[in-house]
Structure 1
Amino acid sequence: MLRLENLVKRYKTGDQALKGVNLEIPKGQVLALIGPSGAGKSTLIRCINRLVEPTAGAVYLNDVNVAAVGAGELRRLRRRMGMIFQEYALVERLTVMENVLSGRLGYVGFWRSWFRKFPPDDVAEAFRLLDRVGLMHMADKRADELSGGQRQRVGIARALIQNPELLLVDEPTASLDPKTSRQIMRLVCELCTERGLAAIINIHDVMLAQMFGQRIVGLQLGEIVYDGPPNGLTSDVLTTIYGEEDWEATIDKVEEEEEEETTTAEAVLGADR
């Protein structure tokens, strides 16, 4: 579905953020991208949709090399890649509904978007998505009236209204409290399952990555140093990714949180029955 071949990014300063990254992600897989600050995580995500231009290599979305297309084709390809930002990237003075509908700007003409004359089907889909992310009652509120978790839910709905095949998620929980972080990660993963979406989630929190990622990729200085299942993140692997530290407490905490998550899910299912 998505394939990176020898992806390189070298900045004008001479710093090499990505050093020949090779990666394949099948349809429907949720991949958590971890690593220390400066490892190249955000650069990798932004090279995929060319918010950052790769220096060399290829980015295949299905059979099309995103890195090689012109501006017009790139606009069309970006419709298929929803982006969820750490800093939310909402227009503060617009309403929740207007921010969600901005995800359709790649599909409607300039004047229709300027006057906010979106097709009825787009408006209906925006309402469905707001209901799904739990914000139907806030459709007419301005974005600057929302909490961090609510803003991130608007960002999720905006990405999904593009009807993408791939989600690129850059630090979705960086500004959120622990409870809201879990809710957001759970929501993203549920939506990916419901829609058969692949996702790359750049995340600092190792515990959240292990709890919600189906696959973990660890970056260190622009290179992949781990690619495997969440339960493969041993103390030795975490030391390779992040450096020396007592990782046993982190691993124990992950196991406790996973047990709690399982118990909560079973209780919800029991209540539904």
Structure 2
Amino acid sequence: MLTLSGVAKRYPTGDRALANIELTLPKGQVMALIGPSGAGKSTLIRCVNRLVEPTQGSIRLENTEITKLSGHKLRHARRSMGMIFQEYALVDRLTVMENVLSGQLGYVGFWRSFLRRYPQEAVVEAFRLLERVGLTHAIDKRADALSGGQRQRVGIARALLQSPKLLLVDEPTASLDPKTSRQIMRLIRELCAERDLAAIINIHDVALAKQFADRIVGLRAGEIVFDGDPSELTSEILTTIYGEEDWDTTPEPMDDEVSEDQRDTGSYGAAPAMAVGGGR
């Protein structure tokens, strides 16, 4: 479904971010990108939707050569790629519903979005998505009144409102506590399964990557040094990716921690609706 061939990125300063990336992502697969800071994980994701321009190589989404597009054709192609950002990228003064509906910008255009003139079917779908991610109680809340986990769920709903074929997820758990992090990753995993969506998730937490991804790709200095099943991610391979460390003593996350969403809602005794279902 998604194919990267010989993709490289070198900045005008001469710094190399990516070198000869070869990847194929089939439909429905959840792939985690791991590696040290500066390895090129975020750059790779942003090259796919051309938020960062690759220096060379080919990026193909189904039958569309992304690297050859510009203007209207590029904007049209980006509808197929839902982006979930590390810092959420919400408009703080807008409500949860308004932020989710901004996912229709690629379809309705700037002025209709600015004037809040969305198709009725988009509004109905936004309600349905907010119910799915467990935010029906917060539809009219301003984004700046939400916790980090709630903000990330708004970002997920917004990305899905585009009806994408591919999710590009940049550090979805970086600012979240351990329990909320697992809830968010479980939600992404479940939604990909429900919609047969492929996803690339840039993530620092190796334990979460192993638990929720179908496949793990390790980057180091802009190059792929591992590509395989989570079960193959041994201590030796982690050393290849990150450098020397006693990987066998990495502590397991604690399941009895209270998540930030539960603190905000007072629901200490029950899992939120979005956490229904299993994860890997």
- TM (norm. structure 2) is 0.90
Q: How far off its partner does 1:65 sit?
A: 1.1
User: Structure 2 matches for 1:186-201, cutoff 5 A?
Assistant: 186-201=186-201
Aligned to 1:145: 145
Q: Which residue of 1 aligns with 2:171?
A: 171
Residue 60 of structure 1 and its aligned partner are, at CA, apart by 0.3
* Partner Cα distance (1:66, 1:83) in 2: 15
Q: Partner of 2:248 in structure 1?
A: 248
Residue 226 of structure 2 corresponds to which residue in structure 1? Answer: 226
1:118-147, Cα deviation, whole Å (9 max, x unpaired): 111000000000000000111100000000
Partner of 1:122: 122
Q: Which SS does the other structure have where 1:12 is aligned? A: coil
Q: Which whole-Å CA distance do the structure 2 matches of 1:111 and 1:165 have between them?
A: 26
Give the match's secondary structure for 1:53.
Answer: coil
Find the counterpart in structure 2 of residue 13 from structure 1: 13
**Partner Cα distance (1:113, 1:235) in 2:** 49
Kindly provide the amino acid, as one letter, of the partner of residue 53 in structure 1: E
Letter in 2 for 1:231: S
Deviation at 1:110, TM superposition (A): 3.2
Whole-angstrom CA distance in 1 between matches of 2:5 and 2:113: 36
Alignment partner of 1:134: what SS? coil
Using the TM superposition, give the Cα deviation of residue 249 of structure 1 relative to its aligned residue in structure 2, in angstroms: 1.8
Partner residue of 2:104? 104
Give a deviation string over 1:140-177, Cα, whole Å, max 9, x none: 00000000000000000000000000000000000000
Task: Quote the Cα distance in structure 2 between the aligned partners of 1:188 and 1:70.
Answer: 30
Question: Helix, strand or coil: the match of 1:219?
Answer: strand
Query: Which stretch shows the higher mean deviation, 2-11 or 60-69?
Result: 60-69
Measure how far apart 1:111 and its partner are: 2.7
Residue 27 (str. 1) matches residue 32 (str. 2): no
How big is each residue's C-alpha offset from its partner over 1:247-267, in whole Å with a ceiling of 9 and x where there is no partner?
1123x848x98xxxxxx9xxx
Separation of aligned partners in 2, 1:198 and 1:110: 28
Which amino acid in the other structure matches residue 108 of structure 2? V
In the TM superposition, what whole-angstrom CA distance separates every residue of 1:6-63 from its partner, at most 9, and x where no partner exists? Answer: 0000001100100010000000000000000000000000000000000000100012
Distance 1:233 1:49 in 2: 28
The corresponding residue for 2:42 is 42
Whole-angstrom CA distance in 1 between matches of 2:107 and 2:162: 8
CA distance in 1, matches of 2:190, 2:111: 35
Runs of at least 5 residues in structure 1 that lack an aligned partner in the other structure:
258-263
CA distance in 1, matches of 2:16, 2:102: 34
Report the RMSD for the aligned CA atoms in angstroms.
Answer: 1.5
- Report deviation, 1:209: 0.4
Q: CA deviation at 1:71?
A: 1.5
Higher helix share: 1
Say which SS state the counterpart of residue 31 (structure 2) adopts.
strand
Report the Cα distance in structure 2 between the residues aligned to 1:70 and 1:96, rounded to whole angstroms: 31
> Runs (4+) of structure 1 moved beyond 6 Å?
none
In structure 2, the gaps of 5 or more residues are 256-270
Structure 1 residue aligned with 2:92? 92
Give 1:150's aligned amino acid.
Answer: Q
- The aligned counterpart of 2:258 is none
Aligned AA (2:208): L
Q: Which amino acid aligns with 1:86?
A: Q
Which residue number in structure 2 is paired with residue 261 of structure 1?
none
Whole-Å separation in 2 of the counterparts to 1:113 and 1:83: 18
CA distance in 2, matches of 1:23, 1:253: 30
**Partner of 1:260 in structure 2?**
none
Give me the whole-angstrom Cα distance separating, in 2, the residues matched to 1:242 and 1:113. 44
SS in 2 for 1:17: strand
Secondary structure of the residue aligned to 2:54 is coil
Instruction: Give the Cα separation in 2 of the matches to 1:89 and 1:249.
Output: 36
Identical pairs, percent: 70
Q: How many residues align?
A: 258
Task: Give how far 1:112 is off.
Answer: 1.7
Task: Return the alpha-carbon distance in structure 1 between the equivalents of residues 190 and 171 of structure 2.
Answer: 18
